C-alpha cells in the first residue's frame, strides 16, 4: 500500500514550473485532440529511405535526405541498419531499384524543391491508403489534388515494401517509441497550447458536426421510393501525429473532412509553432461555417480584394469563406501572443514596483513597461500585415474585434455573428495605410534584433521563471541531481519564493519513486513534505491559488501515504476551499476526500 501512494504522489508532481501551467490531468481528448503515430505514414516514409544512387566516387547517396531531429537521425540510422528486406538478394536489389527510379524521376520534375517539400505529397498520399496491412488505394481519386496524384503510383511500391520487408513486425515497437518520445515534450506543450488558446477565446472546440444526408427508402410493394433528409452527427478530431522521419522544424497539415492532421517530429515544442494556427483552424472552422449567412457585407468587400491580390500571387484563395477563416485564425494567433506577453510583463512590473521606494525608479519601470507594450503592438501590426498580404484580408478587422472579448469573458462562438454583421467596408479600406508607421517601427526593431539576437526586454523576463524553466528541462531529462543543485542555488537568491520550494518538493517526490529502500524513501518524502510546508509559510495574498491548491494536495498525499488519513483529509479540504481554480488540484482533492470517507469493507 505504501508503494501505491508513492505513485499517486508522482501524478501530482507532473506540474510545470510556473504554478499556473496546465496540470497533467488535463485530458486532451476532451478537446478533440489526440496524439497518435500513424503506421501507414511510418511505412511510406521508411520506403522512401531506400531510394539512393551512387555518386561519381561510387559512394551510395540518398536521393531524399530530409533533415531530421537528433532522435529522428538516430532512428533513420537504426532503420537502415536493421535490414528491412528479406534475405532474397534479388528482391532486395529489384525493389530498391524501382523505388529509386520513381523517386529520382519525381525529384527531377521538381528541381528547386527542398527535401522537406519533396516528401510532403508522400505524407498526404499515406493518408489516402487503407490501414496496414492492406494499404489499398483510395476508391475515388478524381477529387485528389494534383501533387498527391503525382505520387499515388508510389503506393504499389509501398505495399510491396511492406510485404517483402520485416517492417510489419516492428511497427508496434516503433509506435511505442514514438509515443514515449512524444510524452517528454510534445504532449505537455500541446496541453499548454490548447489551454492557452481556448482560454483566450473563452470557448471549447465543437467535437461533432451535423451533416444533412439525402436517403432513398423503397416503398413496400412499390417500385417508387421516398426521399428523406437525415441528420448525421460526425465526430471532429484533431490529430497530432509524431513522426521521427518528418523534417525538423517543419509542420505538415492535412484536413480530411472532419479530421485535422498535423505531422511533426515527436520532440516538437508547440509553444510558438505553426501548430497553433492548425489547432485554431480546427476550432474556428465550424464557427465560421455556422455564421456563413452573415457574411454578405464582407463577401462584397473581400471578393474584389482577393481577385486583385491573386494577380500577383495566384496561390491566394479566391474563396471568401476560406479568407474569413484564415483571417480569424491569423488574428487570434497574433492577438493571443501579444495579450499573453502584455499580461506577464504587467504582472512582473507590478511586483517590481512594489519593491521599489524611489519614485523615479518606479516611473522608469512604468515607462519601460509602456515602451515594451508599444513594441509588442507594432510587431503584431506587422504580423497582421504579412498575413493580409498572403490573402488573410480581414486579419486587421478581426484583431480589432478580438480585443473586445479578451477581458470580457465572452465566448468567441457567441460573439462571432456580431463580429461579422458589424463589418464596415468604408473603415476597412484605410486599415493598411493607417498601419504604415507601426510597421516601419516593427521592421526597424526586427533588424535591430538580428544584430542582437540575445537581447531581451528586462520587464518581460522573470529570473525565477527563467531559472525554473531550465530546471524543468532537467526534470524532463530525469537529471534530478542537477535539478536539485540548480534549485538550491536559485533558492539562495530568492529565499522567499514559493514556486522554488514547490519544485524542490516535486523533485524530491520524483526521486522517492525510484528508491526501493523504505527508510531512504521515507527520508526523501520528508524532504518533499518540508519543502511543501515552506510553500505555505512563504505564501502571500498574491501567491497563485493554483500553486497553493496543488501544495495542499501534495501534502495530503504524503500524509495519506504515512497512514495519517485524518490530517490528510484536512489538507484535501483546504484545497477544496480554494475552489476549482484553473491548474489547481481541486479534482484530485475531491476524489481523495471521497476515497477517504468511503466506508472500508
Cβ(588)–Cβ(552) under 8 Å?
no
User: Taking all residues of the chain, what is their mean pLDDT, rounded to a whole number?
Assistant: 85
d(CA 551, CA 547): 6
Distance in angstroms (rounded) separating the CA atoms of residues 86 and 166: 7
Contacts 24+ apart (CB under 8 A), 161-165: 161/43, 161/46, 161/47, 161/50, 161/84, 161/95, 161/99, 162/43, 162/132, 162/133, 162/135, 164/85, 164/86, 164/88, 164/91, 164/95, 165/84, 165/85, 165/86
Question: 127 in helix, strand or coil?
Answer: coil
Which of 113-127, 155-169, 388-402, 464-478 bottoms out in mean pLDDT, i.e. has the lowest? 464-478
**Model confidence at 581: pLDDT above 90:** no
Helix (H, G, I), strand (E, B) or coil at 591: helix
User: Do 332 and 306 contact (CB within 8 A), yes or no?
Assistant: no
- For residues 465-494, give the mean pLDDT: 84
**Pairing between strand 237-242 and 259-264?**
parallel
Exposed (0-12), middle (13-18) or buried (19+): which is 529, by Cβ within 10 Å?
buried
Say if residues 491 and 377 touch (Cβ distance below 8 Å).
no
- Per-residue pLDDT, 597: 82
What is the residue-wise DSSP string for 492-522? Answer: HH-TT-HHHHHHHHHHHHHHHHT--SHHHHH
| 95 neighbors 50 (Cβ within 8 angstroms) | yes
The pLDDT of residue 600: 58
- pLDDT value for 272: 67
**Residue-level pLDDT at 14:** 37
pTM for this entry: 0.72
Residues in the chain: 601
Would the pLDDT of 6 be above 50? Answer: no
Q: What is the mean pLDDT of residues 375-397?
A: 95
Closest CA to 441 of 389, 393, 371, 369: 371
**How sure is the predictor about 410, in pLDDT bands with cuts at 50, 70 and 90?**
confident
Confidence of residue 378 (pLDDT cuts 50, 70, 90): very high
What is the rounded CA–CA span in Å between residue 412 and residue 280? 12
What is the model's pLDDT at position 552?
Answer: 92
DSSP structure class, residue 165: B
Q: Is the pLDDT of residue 12 over 60?
A: no
Q: Which of 75-79, 169-173, 446-450, 514-518 has the highest mean pLDDT?
A: 169-173
pLDDT of residue 275 exceeding 50, the answer is yes
Residue among 601, 543, 580, 582 at smallest CA distance from 591: 580
296 pLDDT more than 50: yes
pLDDT at 22 over 50: no
Has residue 406 got a pLDDT over 60? Answer: yes
Nearest Cα to Cα of residue 592 among 574, 563, 578, 572: 572
Question: pLDDT grade, residue 222 (50/70/90)?
Answer: low
- Across 7-11, 40-44, 139-143, 594-598, the highest mean pLDDT is recorded for 40-44
Give the residue-averaged pLDDT of 182-203.
Answer: 89
In the 8-state DSSP scheme, what is residue 261?
Answer: E
Instruction: Give the pLDDT confidence of 309-324 residue by residue, as tens digits.
Output: 999 999 899 999 999 9
> Whole-angstrom Cα distance, residue 349 to residue 353?
6
More confident residue, 260 or 513: 260
Q: Is 102 helix (H, G, I), strand (E, B) or coil?
A: helix
The cell numbers describing 208, all together, are: 461533432
SS3 421: helix
**DSSP code, position 232:** E
Mind listing the pLDDT tens digit for each residue in 97-137? 999 999 999 999 999 999 999 999 999 999 999 999 999 98
- Please give the average per-residue pLDDT across 85-92, as a whole number: 57
- Residues linked to residue 53 through DSSP beta bridges, in sequence order: 61
In this prediction, residues 219-244 reach a mean pLDDT of 83
Residue 209 DSSP SS3: strand
Angle at 259 between CA 257 and CA 261, to 5 degrees: 120
- CATH number attached to the domain at 2-26+462-597: 1.25.40.10
Share of the chain above pLDDT 90, in %: 48
pLDDT at residue 435 in the model = 94
The Cα 561–Cα 215 span in angstroms is 60
Residue in this structure with the C-alpha cell 532512428, named with its chain if needed: 75
Residue 396 — very low, low, confident or very high, per pLDDT cuts 50/70/90? very high
Q: What is the pLDDT of residue 274?
A: 86
- Contact yes or no for 256/179 (Cβ under 8 A): no
Higher pLDDT, 210 or 462: 210
Stretch 449-478: mean pLDDT: 65
The whole-number average pLDDT for the span 179-199 is 88
Whether omega before 133 lies within 30 degrees of 0, making that bond cis, reads yes
* pLDDT above 70: percentage of residues in the chain: 88
- Whole-angstrom distance, CA of residue 428 vs CA of residue 425: 5
Specify the pLDDT at position 259: 93
Strands 259-264 vs 252-256: parallel, antiparallel or unpaired: antiparallel
pLDDT value, residue 93: 84
Q: In what order do the strands lie in the sheet with 252-256?
A: 33-35, 237-242, 259-264, 252-256
**Among 165, 145, 176, 196, CA closest to 75:** 176
Strand partners, 52: 62
pLDDT tens-digit readout, 334-353: 999 999 888 878 877 777 77
* Percent composition of the chain: helix, strand, coil (DSSP 3-state, to 5): 60, 10, 30
Closest CA to 576 of 565, 588, 566, 586: 586
- Poorest-pLDDT segment among 57-71, 251-265, 276-290: 57-71
Identify the weakest region by mean pLDDT among 238-252, 287-301, 410-424, 443-457.
443-457
The count of C-alpha atoms lying within 13 angstroms of the C-alpha of 218, restricted to the half-sphere facing its C-beta, is 4
Q: Give the pLDDT band (50/70/90) at residue 437.
A: very high
Q: How confident is the model at residue 358 (pLDDT cuts 50, 70, 90)?
A: confident
The predicted structure's pLDDT at residue 8? 38
CA separation for the pair 71, 587 (Å, rounded): 36
Mean pLDDT within 584-595 = 82
Give the residue among 523, 521, 505, 502 at the shortest CA–CA distance from 513.
521
Mean pLDDT within 209-228: 73
What value does the mean pLDDT take over residues 557-579? 88
Q: For residue 458, is pLDDT > 70?
A: no
Residue pointed to by grid coordinates 505537455: 188
Place of cell 526586454: 457
Residue spans per domain, the chain = 2-26+462-597, 37-169, 291-459
* Nearest Cα residue to 184 out of 68, 269, 57, 301: 269
Predicted confidence at residue 588, as pLDDT, reads: 82
Answer with the residue of higher pLDDT: 592 or 206. Answer: 206
Tell me the average pLDDT across 555-571. 89
Tens digits of residue pLDDT in 485-529 = 999 988 988 888 888 999 999 999 889 888 888 888 889 999 999
Query: Are 116 and 67 in contact, with CB atoms under 8 Å apart?
Result: yes
Which residues have a Cβ under 8 Å from the Cβ of 447 and sit 6 or more positions away?
none
If pLDDT is split at 50, 70 and 90, which confidence band does 16 have? very low
Amino acid at each position: 500500500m505504501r508503494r501505491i501512494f508513492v505513485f499517486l504522489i508522482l501524478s501530482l508532481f507532473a506540474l510545470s514550473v510556473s504554478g499556473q501551467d496546465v496540470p497533467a490531468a488535463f485530458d486532451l481528448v476532451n478537446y478533440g485532440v489526440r496524439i497518435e503515430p500513424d503506421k501507414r505514414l511510418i511505412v511510406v516514409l521508411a520506403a522512401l529511405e531506400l531510394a539512393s544512387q551512387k555518386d561519381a566516387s561510387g559512394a551510395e547517396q540518398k536521393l531524399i535526405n530530409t533533415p531530421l531531429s537528433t532522435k529522428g537521425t538516430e532512428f533513420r540510422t537504426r532503420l537502415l541498419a536493421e535490414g528491412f528486406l528479406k534475405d532474397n538478394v534479388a528482391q532486395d536489389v529489384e525493389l530498391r531499384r524501382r523505388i529509386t527510379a520513381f523517386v529520382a524521376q519525381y525529384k527531377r520534375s521538381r528541381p528547386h524543391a527542398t527535401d522537406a517539400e519533396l516528401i510532403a505529397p508522400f505524407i498526404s498520399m499515406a493518408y489516402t491508403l487503407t490501414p496496414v496491412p492492406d494499404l489499398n488505394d483510395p476508391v475515388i481519386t478524381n477529387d485528389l489534388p494534383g501533387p498527391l496524384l503525382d505520387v499515388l503510383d508510389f503506393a504499389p511500391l509501398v505495399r510491396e515494401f511492406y510485404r517483402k520487408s520485416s517492417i510489419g513486425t516492428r511497427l508496434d515497437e516503433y509506435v511505442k517509441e514514438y509515443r514515449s518520445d512524444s510524452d517528454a515534450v510534445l504532449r505537455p506543450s500541446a496541453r499548454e497550447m490548447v489551454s492557452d488558446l481556448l482560454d483566450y477565446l473563452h470557448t471549447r472546440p465543437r467535437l461533432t458536426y451535423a451533416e444533412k444526408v439525402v436517403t432513398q427508402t423503397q416503398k413496400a410493394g412499390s417500385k417508387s421510393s421516398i426521399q428523406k433528409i437525415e441528420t448525421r452527427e460526425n465526430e471532429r478530431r484533431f490529430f497530432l501525429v509524431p513522426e521521427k522521419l518528418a523534417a525538423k522544424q517543419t509542420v505538415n497539415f492535412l484536413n480530411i473532412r472532419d479530421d485535422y492532421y498535423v505531422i511533426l517530429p515527436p520532440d516538437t515544442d508547440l509553444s510558438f509553432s505553426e501548430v497553433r494556427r492548425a489547432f485554431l483552424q480546427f476550432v474556428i472552422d465550424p464557427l465560421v461555417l455556422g455564421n456563413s449567412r452573415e457574411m454578405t457585407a464582407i463577401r462584397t468587400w473581400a471578393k474584389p480584394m482577393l481577385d486583385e491580390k491573386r494577380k500577383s500571387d495566384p496561390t491566394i484563395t479566391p474563396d471568401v469563406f476560406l479568407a474569413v477563416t484564415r483571417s480569424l485564425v491569423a488574428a487570434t494567433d497574433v492577438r493571443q501572443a501579444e495579450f499573453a506577453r502584455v499580461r506577464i510583463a504587467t504582472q512582473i512590473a507590478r511586483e517590481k514596483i512594489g519593491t521599489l521606494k524611489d519614485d523615479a525608479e518606479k516611473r522608469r519601470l512604468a515607462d519601460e513597461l509602456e515602451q515594451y507594450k508599444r513594441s509588442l503592438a507594432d510587431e503584431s501590426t506587422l504580423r497582421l500585415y504579412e498575413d493580409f498580404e498572403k490573402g488573410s484580408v480581414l486579419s486587421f478587422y478581426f484583431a480589432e474585434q478580438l480585443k473586445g472579448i479578451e477581458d470580457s469573458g465572452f465566448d468567441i462562438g457567441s460573439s462571432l455573428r456580431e463580429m461579422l454583421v458589424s463589418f464596415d467596408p468604408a473603415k476597412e479600406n484605410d486599415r493598411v495605410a493607417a498601419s504604415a508607421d507601426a510597421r516601419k517601427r516593427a521592421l526597424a526593431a526586427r533588424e535591430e534584433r538580428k544584430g542582437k539576437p540575445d537581447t531581451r526586454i528586462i520587464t518581460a523576463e522573470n529570473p525565477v521563471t527563467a531559472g525554473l524553466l531550465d530546471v524543468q528541462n532537467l526534470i524532463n531529462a530525469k537529471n534530478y541531481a542537477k535539478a536539485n543543485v540548480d534549485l538550491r542555488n536559485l533558492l539562495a537568491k530568492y529565499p522567499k519564493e514559493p514556486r522554488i520550494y514547490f519544485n524542490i518538493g516535486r523533485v524530491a517526490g520524483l526521486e522517492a519513486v525510484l528508491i526501493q529502500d523504505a527508510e531512504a524513501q521515507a527520508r526523501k518524502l520528508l524532504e518533499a513534505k518540508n519543502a511543501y510546508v515552506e510553500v505555505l509559510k512563504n505564501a502571500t495574498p498574491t501567491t497563485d491559488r493554483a500553486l497553493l491548491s496543488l501544495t495542499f494536495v501534495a501534502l495530503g498525499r504524503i500524509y495519506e501515504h504515512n497512514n495519517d488519513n485524518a490530517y490528510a483529509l484536512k489538507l484535501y479540504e483546504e484545497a477544496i476551499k480554494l475552489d476549482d481554480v484553473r491548474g489547481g488540484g481541486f479534482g484530485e482533492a475531491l476524489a481523495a476526500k471521497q476515497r477517504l470517507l468511503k466506508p472500508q469493507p
